[in-house]
């Protein structure tokens, strides 16, 4: 394959994926900016209450990654029956996962939020937000699984259009339901949660309609055989467990920030959405690696897979350097958009600068671990590296520096960015 053709294939896959990821991150960013007009404590409440959604997004992303790898390989060897079975099985796993998260966090929202802070207003607002936002788990899962399926079938422009519609709907509903505009009731922080539920549900419904249009009727089958299920779970579980424990580890950092003080937690909260947005802009390279390298491996083109992997890493370096410069330039104007104290803005700007500097390293980890290595089914190596970096080094150091040595929050955040992917 020529370099020009390779670049076209990468852009064809990665740009729609990046747009969809950025649009999903925009849900959080719009919520944060609008809720940010309500004050420091509301910003902190959304940050804490959004942690279950953060964990769930990574778990569902792992299931979507497996879905993409399986479908790509079955398309590569022209096995339509196995492709349809893989869709059914991964869809069922997603539904069961979503129901589990919904049950837990819609019932125990108050104890969960209370683990992160002792501020009564933050606990009250966070619990309200979490009880409502939990209903987005299943719609979000549907959008992810079906979006991956559509991309594997070369309908990569469909998911971004769905995402654009959902994001615009979310923005309009936020404006109405948070502040009580256009005759709508003023729900405050709960309005942001209601807006997300409605817009995510609308996106899920459109995703289902698009899937049905593409595939028509598929044979619903969960039959893989003992050997097939054994291979499936050997590939799935390391990725799911890795993403789950990694994202839980990130929530431990939020626990540390919350017990350092509301200002520290709110300052860190200001940057989360824009970090997700910029990483999402380059996440398409990871998805492209999984799909393109997966197809190469499915066709047993190992030398070509190796060469394509090097090219993808090079694209990651170039893209991340562009975003590093951009984030450094906009960090101060960005934090000025929030109706918070000067101390909170200063903390947010410092954390954003640290993230920008370390972004090239994080993008390489995402492409290598999230796409290239996993495309060959070698998921246990990625899991071991992530677990060691997060739980054996990063989390203990964050607890030590933040809660016991009482170091400034920026240094705790640098430890987090340096030692976790």
331: which residues sit within 8 A by CB, 6+ positions away? Answer: 348, 349, 352, 353, 356
**Residue entry with tokens 């349809």:** 84
Read off the pLDDT of residues 67-107 as tens digits, 9 standing for 90 and up: 888 888 777 777 777 777 888 888 999 999 999 999 999 88
142: which residues sit within 8 A by CB, 6+ positions away? Answer: 94, 204, 207, 208
pLDDT at res. 136: 95
Q: Is the pLDDT of residue 22 over 70?
A: yes
Q: Which of 355, 232, 367 is nearest to 286 (CA)?
A: 367
CA–CA separation, 216 vs 213, rounded Å?
Answer: 6
pLDDT at res. 179: 92
Beta-carbon neighbour count of residue 143 at 10 Å? 27
Domain-wise residue ranges, the chain: 3-419
pLDDT at res. 378: 63
Yes or no: say if 171 and 121 are a contact pair by the CB < 8 Å rule. no
Q: Is the pLDDT of residue 237 over 80?
A: yes
Task: Read off the pLDDT of each residue in 55-73 and give the average, rounded to a whole number.
Answer: 86
Yes or no: say if 379 and 339 are a contact pair by the CB < 8 Å rule. no
pLDDT at res. 206: 95
Read off the pLDDT of residues 193-231 as tens digits, 9 standing for 90 and up: 999 999 999 999 999 999 888 887 777 766 766 767 777
Name the more confident of 326 and 362: 326
> Which range among 184-193, 296-305, 362-371 has the greatest average pLDDT?
184-193
Yes or no: say if 233 and 66 are a contact pair by the CB < 8 Å rule. no
């Amino acid at each position: 394959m020529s370099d020009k053709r390779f670049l076209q294939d990468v852009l064809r896959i990665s740009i729609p994926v990046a747009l969809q990821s950025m649009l999903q991150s925009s849900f959080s960013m719009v919520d944060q900016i609008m809720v940010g007009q309500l004050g420091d404590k509301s910003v902190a409440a959304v940050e804490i209450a959004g942690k279950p959604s953060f964990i769930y997004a990574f778990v569902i992303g792992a299931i979507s990654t497996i879905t993409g790898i399986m479908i790509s390989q079955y398309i590569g060897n022209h096995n339509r029956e196995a492709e349809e079975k893989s869709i059914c099985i991964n869809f069922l796993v997603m539904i069961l996962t979503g129901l589990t998260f919904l049950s837990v966090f819609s019932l125990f929202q108050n104890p969960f939020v209370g683990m992160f802070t002792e501020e009564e207003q933050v606990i009250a607002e966070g619990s309200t937000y979490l009880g409502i936002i939990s209903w987005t788990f299943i719609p979000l899962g549907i959008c992810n699984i079906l979006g991956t399926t559509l991309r594997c079938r070369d309908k990569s422009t469909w998911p971004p259009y769905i995402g654009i519609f959902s994001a615009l709907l979310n923005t309009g509903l936020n404006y109405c339901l948070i502040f009580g505009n256009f005759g709508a009731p003023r729900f405050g922080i709960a309005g942001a949660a209601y807006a997300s539920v409605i817009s995510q549900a609308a996106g899920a419904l459109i995703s289902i309609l698009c899937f049905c249009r593409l595939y028509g009727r598929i044979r619903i089958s969960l039959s893989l055989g003992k050997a097939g299920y054994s291979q499936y779970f050997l590939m799935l579980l390391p990725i799911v467990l890795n993403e789950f424990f990694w994202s839980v580890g990130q929530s431990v950092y939020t626990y540390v920030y919350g017990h350092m003080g509301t200002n520290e937690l709110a300052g860190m909260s200001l940057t989360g959405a824009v970090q997700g947005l910029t990483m999402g802009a380059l996440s398409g390279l990871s998805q492209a690696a999984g799909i393109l390298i997966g197809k190469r491996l499915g066709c047993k083109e190992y030398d070509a897979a190796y060469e394509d992997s090097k090219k993808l890493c090079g694209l990651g370096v170039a893209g991340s350097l562009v975003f590093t410069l951009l984030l450094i330039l906009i960090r101060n104007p960005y934090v000025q958009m929030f109706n918070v104290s000067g101390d909170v803005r200063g903390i947010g700007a410092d954390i954003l600068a640290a993230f920008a500097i370390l972004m090239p390293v994080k993008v390489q980890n995402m492409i290598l671990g999230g796409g290239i290595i996993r495309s060959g089914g070698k998921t246990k190596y990625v899991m071991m590296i992530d677990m060691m970096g997060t739980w054996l080094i990063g989390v203990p150091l964050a607890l030590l520096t933040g809660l016991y040595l009482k170091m400034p929050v920026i240094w705790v955040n640098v430890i987090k960015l340096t030692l976790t992917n």
